[in-house]
Amino acid sequence: MSAIELSGVTKNFGPTEIIRGVDLSVRDGERHAMIGPNGAGKSTLFNLISGRLTPTAGAIRLKGEEITGLRPYEINRRGLSRSFQVTNIFPRLSVWENVRCAVLWSMGYKYSFWHNVDSLADVAERTESILRQINLLERRHFSAGVLTYAEQRALEIGITVGGGAEIILLDEPTAGMSVAEAEHAVALIRKLSEGRTLLIIEHDMSVVFNLADRISVLVYGKVIASDEPAKIKANQAVQEAYLGVAA
Amino acid sequence: MSERAQTASAQRSSGGLLATAARYGIWVVLAALLLTLPRIFSSSFTFTMLSLMGISIIFALSYNMLLGQTGMLSFGHAVYYGLGGFLVVHAMNTVTKYSLPIPLPLMPLVGGVAGLFFGVVFGSVSTRRGGTAFAMISLGLGELVASSALILRSFFGGEEGITTNRTKLLRIFDWNFGSQIQIYYLIAFWCLVCVIAMYALTRTPFGRMCNAVRENFERAEFVGYNSQLVRFFAFCLSGFFAGIAGGLAAINFEIVNSGYVGAEQSGSVLLAAYIGGIGFFGGPIIGAILVTWLQVMLSDITEVWQLYFGLLFVGMVMFAPFGISGLLMMHAPLWRARVLWRLVPAYLLALAAGLVMLTGASLVIEMAYHLSTKAADGPMMSFMRVAFSVHSLLPWLMAAVLLIGGYFFFRSSWPYVEGAWHDALMKARERGSAV
């Protein structure tokens, strides 16, 4: 069964068709990269899958279950978590609290007003383990807003994986990073996506071909190819549309 | 168990005991303070003032559950306060009429339940959106209820309101709650309970997610939380505590009228919370105490006290947006590094300059007020026990000199304040303090 399955998904903004009938299948447990030129609709597609936007037509299924039109929190509770291209954190909360917010729901504390949040050992343990993995344990008392850009990007990933979702969507996690920072981030993503399904938007081709089990190419709101990296590289249509025809 | 292990476990439990004492100590101190206050200041005027402060503290903290904790700006919070008050008065009159065995100290709960009920009803509409939409809806609902209060006379009692007699309820411990001191203890008890409850609430998963929704409601939805529901729960609970405050006010005054639910009451709680500082739990407590004190004291000194009150608010918004608690917390690192005293000379200088400026401004305000509304009383007035005529030039000149001179004095004192801050920070860093 596919982790994520899109069939005939379209999205119009007014008269403009941004997503023009996307069929896509992300297999359970694979690392799947989404590439395509600027404005192809990659982020819009993420917004549709994660419930930020509602498709105009078509169906989206998560682990075989239809999720079209559900709210973001409903989709999140079904096991999908996403990061954002533009850093989207809780700026005036501490780094610790940022990750803890992401942990609480999945550990069953929901809207509890009868637990003291600071004495929840299981929450503290999970929060600490995530902070250690994203290398921010030392900075846990700082406000998230004062972190460096790269640290905020790492925190963004930490919040995304905090709830332990099986399916992770990362929207350009390495955008704006230096080469060294990006390498570090990719290693982190590789580690954190171990045993989960990953769908990632990425512009850096070396990252894409290095990380992905399969790649989908989105051009002008349509998936023109979805295959293994080697076959994508060799694909005529992809070369013409996106990679540029090899000389 | 070996001896060493026993010592270790004894140390652990004493450490645990210390931590527990530190955790609950503040509440014990607060309770002791509330019990001893009436013994230190034993005039009935003080009891009245302290009672008003207690009510105001609960109300301001309940308001801050919305504004400070969840980021919801409400212009109609008096609705839940006032309706709580009305329900309590009706409940008291019913209990008296049928001689029901319910004592007065439980009555504030009726107000709480009423506040909660109307919080559920109105909140289900108003909390669907955050931000400006919520603020506008709260304003509209506030006006709606305030105007209903004048129309639905059987429930709200029209202009004159509804009265009650708090001494006619079931007596416990032979207290009839006729005297202000007994009412003070009743209010102090509920104030302590509510403060502890509201503080505890900020330490729960729900309380933390309120902060998350305030910071970034969209992101909260992507970690599994329905922000609308978080806002709704916060709103209902806030209504509950506002209702308790309103109930206590009804018991205190033995009358409720349309003013309880009105815009002035809603505005007053906003000011109290904001002046105290919405960023810290204790901020609204400070604000409630100060604003109540000002409302009582200033109104004795000057008839245009609301103008000063407004100036204070504008000043806080412009120069200290984090309120008094924000100003205090700014000094906390210096206090810990034991360098705070270094600021005292510069602060005294700035304070002197500020007072000169304030005196000038106040003189202008009072003379203008006298001229415009008290012309019939003749030109003579007194300011700070000095009598003079508003028709002579000298007092106006004096006022101008004080105001303008004070302004320049204040401005020239400011570099000293900044310098003192810089020095204190340097000194603190020298001592290895993380500031």
- 3-state SS, chain B, equals CCHHHHHHHHHHHHHHHHHHHHHHHHHHHHHHHHHHHHHHCCCHHHHHHHHHHHHHHHHHHHHHHHHHHHCCCCCCCHHHHHHHHHHHHHHHHHHHHCCCCCEHHHHHHHHHHHHHHHHHHHHHHHCCCCHHHHHHHHHHHHHHHHHHHHHCHHHHCCCCCEECCHHHCECECCECCCCHHHHHHHHHHHHHHHHHHHHHHHCCHHHHHHHHHHHHHHHHHCCCCCHHHHHHHHHHHHHHHHHHHHHHHHHHHCEECHHHHCHHHHHHHHHHHHHHCCCCCCHHHHHHHHHHHHHHHHHHHCCCHHHHHHHHHHHHHHHCCCHHHHHHHHHHHHHHCCCHHHHHHHHHHHHHHHHHHHHHHHHHHHHHHHHHHCHHHCCEEEECCEEEECCCHHHHHHHHHHHHHHHHHHHHHHHHHHHHHHHHHHHHHHCCCCC
**Residue B432 confidence class, pLDDT cut points 50, 70, 90:** confident
**Residue B159 confidence class, pLDDT cut points 50, 70, 90:** confident
Nearest C-alpha in B relative to A78: B224
Collapsing DSSP to helix, strand or coil, A26 comes out as strand
pLDDT in tens, A83-99: 999 999 999 999 999 99
Asked if pLDDT for residue B12 goes beyond 70, the answer is no
Average pLDDT over residues B108-129: 97
Residues of chain B in contact with residue A169, where contact means CB-CB under 8 angstroms, are none
Residues of chain B in contact with residue A72, where contact means CB-CB under 8 angstroms, are 218, 221-222
pLDDT recorded at residue B253: 96
Residues of chain B in contact with residue A115, where contact means CB-CB under 8 angstroms, are 204-205
Task: For residue A11, list its beta bridge partners.
Answer: A19
Question: Would you list the domain boundaries of chain A?
Answer: 2-243
CA B435 to CA B433: how far, in whole Å?
6
Nearest C-alpha in A relative to B231: A111
CA A74 to CA A19: how far, in whole Å?
23
Nearest C-alpha in A relative to B213: A90
CATH number assigned to the domain with residue range A2-243, chosen from the 4 options 3.40.50.300, 3.30.1330.10, 1.10.10.10, 3.40.50.2300:
3.40.50.300
Residues of chain A in contact with residue B223, where contact means CB-CB under 8 angstroms, are 76, 81, 101-102, 104-105, 159, 162-163
> Do A73 and B203 count as a contact with CB atoms less than 8 A apart?
no
Tokens 């009072």 correspond to: B366
pLDDT recorded at residue A223: 95
Burial class of residue B286 in the structure, from the number of CB atoms within 10 Å of its CB (0-12 exposed, 13-18 middle, 19+ buried):
buried
pLDDT in tens, B268-289: 999 999 999 999 999 999 999 9
Question: Would you list the domain boundaries of chain B?
Answer: 41-321, 337-430
Burial class of residue B203 in the structure, from the number of CB atoms within 10 Å of its CB (0-12 exposed, 13-18 middle, 19+ buried):
middle
Residues of chain A in contact with residue B241, where contact means CB-CB under 8 angstroms, are none
ipTM of this complex prediction, to 2 decimal places: 0.95
Residue A224: count other Cβ atoms within 10 Å of its Cβ: 17
Residues 77-96 of A with CB under 8 A from B: 77, 81-82, 88-93
Q: A100-104, B254-258, B290-294, B305-309: lowest mean pLDDT where?
A: B305-309
Contacts across the A-B interface (CB distance below 8 Å): 93
> Do A73 and B221 count as a contact with CB atoms less than 8 A apart?
yes
Q: Which residues of chain A have pLDDT under 50?
A: 246-247
Sorted by sequence, the CB contacts under 8 Å of residue A155 that are 6+ apart come out as A89, A95, A98, A99, A134, A136, A144, A147
List the single best residue of B20, B23, B222, B233 to mutate versus A (max A Cβ within 10 A). B222
**Residue B435 confidence class, pLDDT cut points 50, 70, 90:** low
Residues of chain A in contact with residue B204, where contact means CB-CB under 8 angstroms, are 112-117
Nearest C-alpha in B relative to A97: B208
> Do the strands A197-201 and A167-171 form a parallel or antiparallel pair, or are they unpaired?
parallel
pLDDT in tens, A117-151: 999 999 999 999 999 999 999 999 999 999 999 99
pLDDT recorded at residue B433: 66
> Do B222 and A73 count as a contact with CB atoms less than 8 A apart?
yes
Residues of chain A in contact with residue B238, where contact means CB-CB under 8 angstroms, are none
Asked if pLDDT for residue B324 goes beyond 90, the answer is yes
Residues 224-253 of B with CB under 8 A from A: 224-226, 229-230, 233, 237
pLDDT recorded at residue A244: 59
Asked if pLDDT for residue B6 goes beyond 70, the answer is no
Nearest C-alpha in A relative to B200: A116
> Do B204 and A112 count as a contact with CB atoms less than 8 A apart?
yes
Sorted by sequence, the CB contacts under 8 Å of residue B226 that are 6+ apart come out as A71, A73
> Do B204 and A82 count as a contact with CB atoms less than 8 A apart?
no
pLDDT in tens, B348-391: 999 999 999 999 999 999 999 998 888 788 888 888 888 888 88
Residues of chain A in contact with residue B208, where contact means CB-CB under 8 angstroms, are 97, 100-101, 104, 117
DSSP-assigned letter for residue A34: E
Task: Closest CB to A117: pick one of B208, B219, B233.
Answer: B208
CATH number given to B41-321? 1.10.3470
